[in-house]
Amino acid sequence: MTAALTLLQVTDRPIADIAFQVAYSSASRFSARFKRRFGFLPALVRGELDA
């Protein structure tokens, strides 16, 4: 998940691509696990959601 966070911060790759790169076949499952780990959704890192 730390690698995913870094990729979200330093690349503009789609969240689904990053999910796949860190071994998730489902972007929604990845987002749920990411939120459980960090307390916020991956889209928030990208500024796609309001806090």
Tens-digit pLDDT profile for residues 24-46:
999 999 999 999 999 999 999 98
Specify the number of domains making up the chain: 1
Q: What number of CA atoms fall less than 13 Å from residue 14's CA on the CB side?
A: 6
Instruction: Find the CATH number of the domain harbouring 16.
Output: 1.10.10.60
pLDDT of residue 48: 79
* pTM metric for this prediction: 0.86
User: Radius of gyration over alpha carbons of the chain, in Å?
Assistant: 10
Identify whether 50 is part of a domain: no
